[in-house]
Amino acid sequence: MKIGFIGLGIMGKPMAKNLIKAGHELTVYDRASGAMDELLSSGAKAATSAKDAAMASELVITMLPNSPHVKAAVLGEGGAIEGLTPGKVLVDMSSIAPLAAKEVAAELAKKGVEMLDAPVSGGEPKAIEGTLSIMVGGKKEVFERCLPILQSMGSSAVLCGDIGAGNTTKLANQIVVALNIAAISEAFVLASKAGLDPDTVFKAIRGGLAGSTVMEAKAPMIMAGNFKPGFRIDLHIKDLANALETGHEVGVPLPLTSQVMEMMQALKVDGKSGNDHSGLVQYYEKLAQCEARKRP
């Protein structure tokens, strides 16, 4: 299939590469022209705008940081909507506010263009592996039509409801991930301050009820002090802001989410917003004056 891919950041680039590996013809676009070079060497064609990418494709995928970026890339001047025609589909795989997804879908519908909101979970490692978890909102028939494409990038793709449901599910996911990282951080700093090797604690508890995919992915990073971003703190702040806003809209208090949000905001003030979200441990380390590092 001819696919337009807009947004070639930490996540978008490996996702686009997996589509090429699956045999699809890609036309790619990113505002940072240098971001396209690696894809061009893999066989993709370069577009000069989101509109250009959409004109050359049957299906367009967007993978961008937040709601304003998606609205600009799709609905703005030179946006994808100008190159989309009836029968084409736009799949937004960004993590944005559910209301924003509905607004974009409504504008596309006026042109006879279908849309799915399909945010992902798994970070850069699973984007590279092509094993992302994909949460989808939209019409069932459109989802089924796009499923083989989604399966080229993820190990699972689940239709969660109508437009906006994918991003609501992603917000729930991000709450669970953030609270998991906070709990792991709190526990490991406690263990370290009490004189234990956090790696021993990790080995002791990973097979029990406390074990989780988050622990398996983030505990080794915490213990190595490796906060090279797979998913940055500033992006998790964005997701938690969308979660809190959505919670307020539907009447659901989110007290634990708000607490973790303030921890991340403190790290942002401390100049650490570009760290991986496993760097949340640094909030606890600063309070306890103790690092949760694996011992030699």
Residue 170 annotated in active site: yes
**H or E segment to which residue 126 belongs:** helix 123-129
Residue 156 CA to its chain's centroid (Å): 15
Alpha carbons 191 and 200: distance in angstroms, whole number: 10
List, in sequence order, every residue forming a beta bridge with 147; answer none if it has no partner. none
If we measure between CA atoms, which residue out of 166, 180, 279 comes closest to residue 230? 279
If we measure between CA atoms, which residue out of 189, 182, 164 comes closest to residue 266? 182
Per residue in 209-249, pLDDT tens? 999 999 999 999 999 999 999 889 999 999 999 999 999 99
pLDDT given for residue 35 in this prediction: 86
Q: What is the pTM assigned to this prediction?
A: 0.91
User: Which residue in 170, 218, 238, 272 is the catalytic one?
Assistant: 170
Domains of the chain (ranges, CATH numbers): 2-163 (3.40.50.720), 168-288 (1.10.1040.10)
Q: Tell me which DSSP letter residue 121 carries.
A: E
- For residue 272, CA distances in Å to 52, 112, 142, 263, 281 come to 37, 44, 40, 11, 11
Per residue in 108-149, pLDDT tens? 999 999 999 999 998 888 999 999 999 999 999 999 999 999
Helical axes 165-193 vs 281-288, angle rounded to 10°:
30
Alpha carbons 185 and 11: distance in angstroms, whole number: 25
| Helix (H/G/I), strand (E/B), else coil: 6 | strand
pLDDT given for residue 95 in this prediction: 94
b/e string for 96-112 if b means 16 or more Cβ within 10 A?
Answer: bbbbbbbbbbeebeeee
Asked if 220 contacts 255 with a C-beta cutoff of 8 angstroms, the reply is no
Asked if 116 contacts 146 with a C-beta cutoff of 8 angstroms, the reply is yes
Alpha carbons 222 and 184: distance in angstroms, whole number: 9
**Token match 């240098």: residue?**
34
Q: Tell me which DSSP letter residue 94 carries.
A: S
Residues of the chain where predicted confidence (pLDDT) is lower than 50:
none
Q: Which parts of the chain are beta strand (E)?
A: 2-6, 25-29, 45-46, 59-62, 89-92, 114-117, 120-121, 132-137, 154-161
pLDDT given for residue 33 in this prediction: 78
**Token match 């539907």: residue?**
250
